[in-house]
Amino acid sequence: MNSFDGIAIEVNQKESSHTIPNAAYPILSEIETMLWELAEHNRSNSIDLRRQPLSQTDSSRLREVLGRGEVSATVNCMGTTHIEETGIPGVWWVTHYNDSEDVVAEFIEITEVPEILKAHRKDIPAGVGLLRARVARLSHG
Amino acid sequence: MSDKETILQHLLNQGASRRAFLKFCAVTASTLALPTREAKVLAAVLEQTPRPTVIWLSSQECTGCSESLLRSFEPTVENLILDHLSLDYHNTLQAASGAAAEAAREQAMADAFGNYVLVVDGSITARDYGAWSMIGGRSTFDILKEATAGAGLIISVGTCAAFGGLPKAQPNPSQAAGVGDLMAQGELPQRPLVNISGCPPVPEVITGVIAYFLAFGALPELDELNRPKVYYGKTVHDCCIRLPHFEAGNFAMSFDDEGARQGYCLLLLGCRGPETFNSCSTVRWNQGTSYPMHSGHGCLGCSEPQFWDRVGGFYGGPLANPIAGDGSACEVPVPPPLS
């Protein structure tokens, strides 16, 4: 577990609770543009949150504005990946963790469904064979 | 490239999933600060890219760079990729030894001549006909000279291979030098060179650079010391968690004093963060766990040339080029678009 909290560092941030923090606003604007491109041109996109100068407050406000949707999923491979649909259709919050549960990458994806959730077309034929083999084992007791 | 299985095929054959591959590509693209469109290219190209031949040559080294890259408590995506990069020669890790191992290396180089990735760790010596560093009756300098000729990319891993490192420290009895030094002197053929300096370097930097080269056939933008700017473009001071205390003038006066425990800046205890370019405070160590200043010790400046010979040793002496950071450089620069 990341133990940054063990160092007592206090950074003063003067922010109004009635306005969107500075770093969150341009990201929201970018999401809107990308969402329009998805709607009009079926073009997916993503924003790498680790490349943005987001404070904890900025991140919280971003989550607050985007809200929670109906879908929450966990992918278990090389650590976990949490995928949450936001309250904005087509906008997903994807967080990749390593085996120590530290965040290694975090994205806002603007897409119908994040790629990592989909079963890949090339894997599905193998799935047919796998299912047949398992059914055959059942049939033979 | 040969008709080896692709990186993705190899991962699938080892029991990893396509999703693990996608996750690796996403994480690597993030550490490389790639724009979204190039991140997608990374996944698409690596899916088709045959596992590259990697020849790892060690010279005057302590094996710390290999340990940094290849030792892990748990398998990670990064280690999985690196472990399966068709490491055709590594005289510390490979099971083969003796003449058979050397013959296998020569065959791998011949099969992939012009395209293999040559990783070098340890400083190089040509003194006394290279007698100071020998493998199998040949000097490592001669072996390196031969291997350099057919390399598509040379990665100098660690400060020793990049700049000479500890063996080059005064009085430099072996006349040690880095790969770039020898190229500049005309002792080695000129080939594309990337320096991943550090004692040892951050492991994820290695996989990131190799992944970028495989996907785009080019190197990320390099600084004047041939280090990728995306990892070495900022000082560790600029993104240090103790930076607010530096700005406030709060300095620890001794190790583990009350100030140190409160996160005060370690500058007066010898920290070289303001003049050390590396990614320790962003990518961090041990799969993103921590870095020296986070854990209470100042930066030794290990990714910079001649860090062993600085005035005052590790715990004293003035900074050569102190830089007052304000954290603004923590924004990762976006690499220029590929042409």
What are φ and ψ of residue A138, in 5° steps? -65, -40
Q: How far is A48 from chain B (nearest CA, A)?
A: 7
Nearest to A4 among B19, B33, B241 (CB): B241
Whether the predicted pLDDT of B29 surpasses 50: yes
Q: Is the dihedral of CA B71, B123, B169, B234 positive or negative?
A: negative
- Measured between CA atoms, the residue of chain B closest to residue A7 is B263
3-state secondary structure B259-323: HHHCCCECHHHCCCHHHCECCCCCCCECCCCECCCCCCCCCCCCCCCCHHHCCCCCCCCCCCCCC
Q: Model-level pTM?
A: 0.73
Interface contact A99, partner B, CB < 8 A: yes
DSSP 8-state class, residue B9: H
For range B22-44, the mean pLDDT: 77
State the Cα–Cα distance between residues B21 and B12, nearest whole angstrom: 9
Q: Which residues of A touch B332 (CB under 8 A)?
A: 50-51
Distance CA B129, CA B146 (A): 15
Q: What is the pLDDT of residues B214-253, one digit of tens each?
A: 667 788 889 999 999 988 998 999 888 888 888 888 999 8
* Cα B303 versus chain centre, distance: 9
Q: What is the mean pLDDT of residues B11-26?
A: 81
Q: Give the distance from residue B91's alpha carbon to the nearest chain A alpha carbon, in angstroms.
A: 29
| Alpha-carbon gap: A73 to the closest alpha carbon of chain B (Å) | 14
**Which of B265, B190, B194 is CA-nearest to residue B231?**
B194
Q: What ipTM describes this predicted complex?
A: 0.79
| Contact status of B154 with chain A (Cβ, < 8 Å) | no
Surface-to-core class of residue B141, CB atoms within 10 Å of its CB (0-12 exposed, 13-18 middle, 19+ buried): buried
pLDDT tens-digit readout, B121-173: 999 998 998 889 988 888 999 999 999 999 988 999 999 999 999 999 999 99
For residue B68, the one-letter residue type is S
Assess whether pLDDT exceeds 80 at residue A8: no
Minimal-distance CA residue of chain B relative to A81? B23
Residues of A in contact with B33 (CB under 8 A): 48, 51
Closest Cβ–Cβ partner in A9, A47, A120 for B244? A9
CA pair distance B21, B39, nearest whole angstrom: 13
Contacts A–B by Cβ distance under 8 A: 92
Q: Which of A9, A10, A77 sits opposite B23 (nearest CB)?
A: A77
- B39–A123 C-beta distance less than 8 A: no
Of B76, B262, B290, the CB nearest to A8: B262
pLDDT of B55 higher than 70: yes
Contact B273, B235 (CB under 8 A): yes
- The string of pLDDT tens digits covering residues A45-79 is 999 887 777 777 888 889 999 999 999 999 998 78
Other CB atoms within 10 Å distance of the CB of residue B211: 26
Interface mutation target, options A9, A30, A104, A122, chain B, most CBs of B under 10 Å: A104
Return all residues near B248 (Cβ < 8 A) that are at least 6 apart: none
Structure tokens at B1: 């490239």
- The single residue listed with the structure tokens 């011949």 is B110
The SS3 of residue B17 is coil
Decide if pLDDT at B99 tops 60: yes
pLDDT at A1: 40
- Residue B27 contacts A where some CB pair is shorter than 8 Å: yes
